[in-house]
Amino acid sequence: MRRVEWVRFAPFTIILFLSIQLVGNQPARCAAPDKRLRAKVTVILEKLPVDKKAKMANFHEKVANYINSRDWIEEDYVNPIDIGVQLFLEDSPSTVEDRYRCNILVSGPDIQYYDKRSRFAFQENEVLKPGAEFSPILGLIDFYINLVIGNELDKYGLLEGTRYFEKARGILQQGKFARPPFFEGWDWRDETMRAIFSDNYKKFREMKDYYFYGLSLNDDEITQKRDYVKQAVEKLAEVLKENRDNLGAKQFIDAHYQEIVELFKDTGDDSVFRILIRIDPDRENIYQEYIQ
């Protein structure tokens, strides 16, 4: 198992939802005990009725405490992972209990998941903590956090994140059997899970091993560093040729294209830039600058 001492990550692409700023919905951050998972949580209450807004006013703190107080990562060689969690709440009227519809956006360093198919019950004085019974809201959070962790650990070695994708799949199986109406959305998440365990996504994960191993090499090994990254770009092109809808691959380009440009811009070798034009045509003007 290869362990990377340092990895330089480019910031992930921020989509429209991250630009929303609402008064009274401040992000919550709590220090993780082991410093390996640090979550910034924002809850958007704008669409709730007044009484529900009051009941959920500190929900962001409860979610942050839940995430940051847990030891998610079993491996001891992992660099700290910063994760963003945004919850967009709407009322789901019920005469039995307080229920909410929820859109969730979970972001890692270079991947994010947006899900608008969930519903959960939550009472004002309730505390978020793991329990024997499946919790729709905690299952939702756990599912996507494990997907982010799995994608991050793939940067440390070949398919290193498999353990966490398997955990997410286990949560999925529980979610399918949640009581009505809280099984909503788990059929869609099943499609996400099938895509992650597909041959195409496996090739994407294998590509990351080449890329981040290359980045881990010192500058006095620049030729070898560029060779590994170039092989990664070639493998990324193969992945997207097979499946143009591989969301992870698309987000990977968004997060790392500048890093690749910096690594190859003074080499006189334009083959990497020609591949980038093919797989990332929206940035052709950037890559064209370095083509002979």
55-60, Cβ contacts within 8 angstroms, sequence gap of 24 or more: 55/98, 55/124, 56/89, 56/100, 56/122, 56/124, 57/24, 59/87, 59/89, 59/122, 60/25, 60/26, 60/27, 60/28, 60/87
Side-by-side strand order, sheet with 28-29: 28-29, 37-47, 81-91, 99-107, 112-121
Where is pLDDT greater, at 235 or 2?
235
DSSP the chain: ----S--PPPPPPP-GGGG---TT---EE---TTSSEEEEEEEEEEES-HHHHHHTTTHHHHHHHHHHTS-----SSPPPEEEEEEEEEEE---SSS-EEEEEEEEE-SS-EEEEEEEEEE--TT------SS--HHHHHHHHHHHHHHHHHHTTTSTTTTHHHHHHHHHHHHHHHTSPTTTTTTHHHHHHHHHHHTSHHHHHHHHHHHHHHHHHHS-GGGHHHHHHHHHHHHHHHHHHHHH-TT-HHHHHHHHHHHHHHHHHHTTSS--HHHHHHHHH-GGGHHHHHTT--
Percent above pLDDT 70 for the chain: 88
Indicate the pLDDT class of residue 12, thresholds 50, 70 and 90. very low
- Confidence at residue 155, expressed as pLDDT on a 0 to 100 scale: 97
Where is pLDDT greater, at 36 or 153?
153
- Confidence at residue 132, expressed as pLDDT on a 0 to 100 scale: 87
CA–CA dist 258, 252 (Å, integer)? 11
- Confidence at residue 36, expressed as pLDDT on a 0 to 100 scale: 80
pLDDT at residue 29 tops 90: no
- Confidence at residue 292, expressed as pLDDT on a 0 to 100 scale: 81
pLDDT tens readout for residues 120-150: 999 999 999 998 899 999 999 999 999 999 9
pTM: 0.87
Q: Where are the domains of the chain?
A: 16-196, 202-288
- Cα–Cα–Cα angle for 116, 127, 164, nearest 5°? 55
Cβ atoms of residues 103 and 123 within 8 Å: no
pLDDT at residue 231 tops 70: yes
Where is pLDDT greater, at 131 or 58?
58
pLDDT tens readout for residues 157-191: 999 999 999 999 999 999 999 999 999 999 999 99
- Confidence at residue 25, expressed as pLDDT on a 0 to 100 scale: 46
- Confidence at residue 6, expressed as pLDDT on a 0 to 100 scale: 35
Beta-strand relationship, 112-121 and 99-107: antiparallel
Neighbours of 127 (CB within 10 A): 7
- φ/ψ region of 24 (left if φ > 0, alpha if ψ in -120 to 50, else beta) reads left
Average pLDDT, the chain: 89
